[in-house]
Amino acid sequence: MAVQRGLESSRPSGKRLFDDPFARSFVSPSWRIALSAARFAPIRMGIATVYDLIGGPGPRASAIARTRLIDDLVEELAPAADQIVILGAGFDTRPYRLGCLSARQVFEVDHPDTQIAKRSGLAAALVAQSSGVLFVPVDFETDDLAEALVGAGFSTEQTTLFLWEGVTQYLSAEAVTATLKVIRNLSHSESSLLFTYVDKSVITDGSPSFPEAERWLRGARKRGEPWSFGIAPTEIVSFLEAHGFQLIKDVSTQEAGNRYFSTVGRYEHGSGLYHVVTARTLAVC
């Protein structure tokens, strides 16, 4: 994702969907050189073309469309939230580049090793540690997420926006259920949840409906990160209700791409297998 965000940010302002000036701080030295050269259009087009040939159609465009869509949703939802929790934050830089988060307490939750790497990258980008951002180290396999958040100062009495991007497809169904239970138990009645999921048909049968899925799945397995969990879009309402949430909107990266790329005169297409969900907590009777 850092590579994709860095490549997108190398485009001229009128042609890019977002600007992430910190993304290149989290990539390898060779990719850093490539992203610096990508400000020249022929080089940038060459990198994107080769990436798409290897990864197949869908992953790159979907990553870009998903980033812009979630940026817009965070801008929409953050004003109503007192605090923000980013689960599996990775190299997400929204707390440092979106103004709507600057006046709110942000909890970045991730594995301790990932947070060490992120802090190093932020320091290299000369990003000062903000008092509004608290790093909460959690090993999701062994640590108690709720205990870690509350111990870091999270308040169950405040309205929260939870962001859980790019994670669920790598987890077991039990792990997804357990995390949603923690989120629901910690949530004030007016809290919101933003998360991503993949269409489970690509995991169960490879889904002929998504010809891009085969190479995408193969690439994930090659990186040692096979997809194991998905949700059928037709079941998202009942899935959320079973876990204490109400669906607000469910947008595929294909739909998001159709919306965003056309506005800047571009012709990439996101994939319909990847979805971004906005939900709110259901009132407890």
**pLDDT value at residue 34:** 94
Minimum mean pLDDT range among 48-57, 173-182, 270-279: 48-57
Radius of gyration, CA atoms only, the chain: 18
Give 124 or 251, the one with higher predicted confidence: 251
Domains of the chain in start order, with CATH, are 58-281 (3.40.50.150)
Exposed e or buried b per residue across 249-268, where buried means at least 16 C-beta atoms within 10 angstroms of its C-beta: ebbbbbbbbeebbeeeebeb
pLDDT tens figures, 199-212: 999 998 766 678 88
Average pLDDT over residues 100-124: 92
What are the CA-CA distances from residue 147 to residues 68, 111, 180 (Å)?
32, 15, 15
Looking at the chain, the whole-number percentage of residues with pLDDT higher than 90 is 78
Looking at the chain, the whole-number percentage of residues with pLDDT higher than 70 is 96
* Residue 228 burial by Cβ neighbours in a 10 Å radius (0-12, 13-18, 19+): middle
Q: What is the pTM of this model?
A: 0.94
The mean predicted confidence, pLDDT, of the chain is 92
pLDDT tens figures, 2-25: 999 999 999 999 999 999 999 999
**pLDDT value at residue 164:** 97
DSSP H or E stretch at residue 256:
helix 253-263
> How many CB atoms are located within 10 Å of the residue 108 CB?
25
Average pLDDT over residues 233-239: 97
Sequence-separated (6 or more) residues with CB below 8 Å from residue 72:
none
**pLDDT value at residue 282:** 85
Q: Is 6 helix (H, G, I), strand (E, B) or coil?
A: helix
* Residue 131 burial by Cβ neighbours in a 10 Å radius (0-12, 13-18, 19+): exposed
Give the start-end residues of each E strand in the chain: 83-87, 105-110, 133-137, 160-164, 192-198, 245-252, 274-281
pLDDT class for 285, splitting at 50, 70, 90? very low
pLDDT class for 223, splitting at 50, 70, 90? confident
Q: Residue 281 and residue 188: Cα distance in Å, rounded? A: 8
Average pLDDT over residues 37-50: 94
Q: Is 187 helix (H, G, I), strand (E, B) or coil?
A: coil
User: In angstroms, how far is CA 261 from the centroid of its own chain?
Assistant: 19
Q: At what angle do helices 59-77 and 253-263 cross, to 10 degrees?
A: 90
pLDDT tens figures, 132-157: 899 999 988 788 999 999 999 999 99
Residue 218: CA atoms inside 13 Å, Cβ hemisphere, count?
8
With CA atoms as reference, report the closest residue to 160 among 12, 281, 70: 281
